[in-house]
Amino acid sequence: MTPPAELLELKGGTPLAQGRMRIVFRHPQDPRLLVKVIRPDILDERWGSGAPWYKKRRRFGQYISFIRETEEYIAGCAGGGDAPPFAQKILGYVETDYGLGMVVRAVHDRDGKPAPTLGQIVVQGGLNAKVKADLETFVTSVVNSDLIVADFNLHNIVYGHDERYGDHFVLIDGLGLSTILPFKTLSRAFNRFSKKGRVKRMYARIDRNLRRIAAAAAS
């Protein structure tokens, strides 16, 4: 059976990345774009017959992460008409052979290659003074914003470059609430406190990696 012409076929392609919940593909029709889809192997586990009752009653089902991320992205646009530079651009949704897919702008480095993650930069010894300063700018912008961040680690932060912002870090995953209770939307102070804690843990991971690398080099 031939799929509809408007259905984006991704199953024949090679994923660029895979997270705990989603798979990321290069858009087959535009290399400047990426498509994020829900991993099929976790659908039944989290939303199938054996899923908790409260998840089955959620209107958005497996796409709740899309909703949370999009809401937060729109909140970032509400003040100035454009999302902050640390947020990956969300361009819309598309029907795929994996189900609904979120279309986002790909983040590239100065050479037009996929932007490296913060973790890759640390492992490759690229955390120089310039990169550290850009990371501090990124952290300050995230903490001072009203946007809610559910996840903040070395693998969902990338170091990109474009004509408008130059070299800068971008959060490519993790925007939005991670809990049912909306404490962070009700209290700016609580949201800021939560983000500061995530930043502290991020820097602790960087320090652990740097110590591990130094120990390996000395042995």
Domain ranges of the chain: 1-106, 109-219
Regarding pTM above 0.75, the answer is yes
Q: What's the pLDDT score for residue 131?
A: 97
Residue with the two structure tokens 């089902």:
61
- CATH code of domain 1-106: 3.30.200.20
Q: What contacts 210, CB < 8 A, 6 or more positions away?
A: 122, 127
CA distance 57 to 201: 34
Chain centroid offset of residue 89 CA? 10
Q: What's the pLDDT score for residue 123?
A: 95
Residue 24 or residue 217, greater confidence = 24
Residue 14 pLDDT > 90:
yes
Residue 181 pLDDT > 60:
no
Overall average pLDDT of the 157-186 stretch: 80
Q: What contacts 166, CB < 8 A, 6 or more positions away?
A: none
